[in-house]
Homo-oligomer: A and B are copies of this chain.
């Protein structure tokens, strides 16, 4: 079995080898651009790891990994348009570089490219993989829709938020795990257990993201600590605070939302978080999701040794500091 970094290299090499038509260059150049921006390629790596649980030949899953990574990057292009985001991984977003129309269209053709990768899989797994992929893809769209709607609402509940991040982020992780398992030849029960693992692990990962944005070590975090607070992003922490805070603190929070003194704002909101122990509550929720995930993984009907690499990767991602 391969190590994580070997799997990353396998995916990175495969991504570099994908050929897109030369023309129309404005349609295909953005695809090369965003696929080349890098990242840890965690989604395809998880897909390969999942396949490897059941089949030593990891090469059978590469097209699945490429499909997921292409699909993920397509959603980034379109999300960045909708969110009006200028920067992605430290570079101009596609719609800034090529304009909105081109970004829409290049995204569309990436969705086709993702399906093209899947179509190259062995015909014996094609129908199950496509079914899972389509469910995953529409889930991600639903999550983005809810995310946009929640930005306009002041009364989002924790349950709604969890459902939104489940759709927007976690089902794709679940999809990676299940698609990898199907390609590797897993039985349906095991593929479904790995889906549950992925979804709950994805939720834990996102909750850790929310926590790190406030409590991450500034030297290790990579982004501006408190970025979510500055942009009034509705995270688990903020929604939990709104649920727990008394009237006076709610007024304080409300007045802070328009503050332009970013440092003071981050400090004051963090003080409120601390007052109501929302960090601890978030960690408890994260750990609960992680426990569900690892329980599902344990139930997968293969030897423990085979799961070691996946188990270790998942634990390191949840316990990450950046």
Contact = CB atoms under 8 A, between A and B. Distances in A.
A130 interface: yes
The CB with the most chain B CB atoms within 10 A, among A21, A81, A109, is that of A109
Contact of A126 (B23, B101, B126, B149): B126
B105 A130 contact: no
A137 B112 contact: yes
A96 interface: no
Contacts of A112: 111, 134, 137-138, 141
A296 interface: no
Q: How many copies, total? A: 2
A82 interface: yes
Nearest to A122: B127
A104 to B, nearest CB: 6
Looking at chain A's contact residues, the main secondary structure is helix
A28 to B, nearest CB: 9
B146 A119 contact: no
A123 interface: yes
Interface residues of A, number: 37
Contact of A119 (B105, B134, B141, B149): B134
A144 interface: yes
Contacts of A119: 127, 130-131, 134
A24 interface: yes
The CB with the most chain B CB atoms within 10 A, among A107, A127, A131, A145, is that of A145
A113 interface: yes
Interface in A19-41: 21, 23-24, 26-27
A146 B146 CA distance: 34
Given A27-B141, A145-B24, A146-B24, A101 B113 contact: no
Contacts of A24: 142, 145-146, 149
Contact of A127 (B21, B82, B109, B123): B123
Nearest to A111: B111
Contact of A105 (B115, B123, B144): B144
11 contacts: A24-B145, A78-B104, A108-B108, A108-B111, A108-B141, A111-B112, A112-B138, A115-B115, A118-B130, A119-B131, A126-B130
